A and B are shown apart, each in its own frame.
Chain A
Amino acid sequence: DTAVSQTPKYLVTQMGNDKSIKCEQNLGHDTMYWYKQDSKKFLKIMFSYNNKELIINETVPNRFSPKSPDKAHLNLHINSLELGDSAVYFCASSQALTSGNEQFFGPGTRLTVL
């Protein structure tokens, strides 16, 4: 049973296109996140939702729009893709308000913009 799943695993697309990445967690967690990991493995938080409410919105271009239809799902839509958007995007979830805020990560989506 996969705890945090993402689709697709790989995404190759042209500059200017619009694409979406989907994430689902079956852990019953209240909080979900999107992270971007660059080629040097640096991990940067982009967004976080708690109970479908946006609570973290880091300095991210407004071409990126997250959507959380329910607590178990957090999708990421990207408009007008640029070369610099190429990265691995990770979804994660946690039960944030309990002790520790341990994060559970999905397998990642490798986005390549040509």
Chain B
Amino acid sequence: GNSVTQMEGPVTLSEEAFLTINCTYTATGYPSLFWYVQYPGEGLQLLLKATKADDKGSNKGFEATYRKETTSFHLEKGSVQVSDSAVYFCALSRTGGFKTIFGAGTRLFVKA
């Protein structure tokens, strides 16, 4: 079946550090891949997405590239800010399907 595995947190970084959160997936066919972010006390919101292999999604300085050969969609940001402190979820959804599979979430703390 389809599944998403992301690195366990929490991840603690100092401001302006480089961020990588690893995400790998198992799926049949060609799913769409997503990163969602959840700020404290709020619902999830889409951060970025990629719908086919080699696509790069980007938003607010975050990037992730859909790598079919390694079945990965790692999230990166060159210089994190305190305001990036949140929980990040990797997810996949089969095109034309109704179900989204979420990873377990990775909590990020950024210290000033």
Interface residues of A (CB under 8 A from B): 4, 31, 40-43, 45, 48, 50, 55-56, 90, 92, 94, 96-97, 99-108
Contact = CB atoms under 8 A, between A and B. Distances in A.
Interface size class of B (residues with CB under 8 A): 20 to 34
A90 B99 contact: no
Given A90-B44, A105-B44, A99 B100 contact: no
28 contacts: A4-B43, A41-B38, A41-B87, A41-B105, A42-B104, A43-B44, A43-B102, A43-B105, A45-B99, A56-B98, A92-B43, A94-B100, A97-B96, A99-B51, A99-B95, A101-B93, A101-B95, A101-B97, A101-B100, A102-B34, A103-B36, A103-B46, A103-B100, A104-B46, A105-B43, A106-B43, A107-B42, A107-B43
B77 interface: no
B89 interface: yes
B30 to A, nearest CB: 11
Contact of B43 (A55, A100, A102, A108): A108
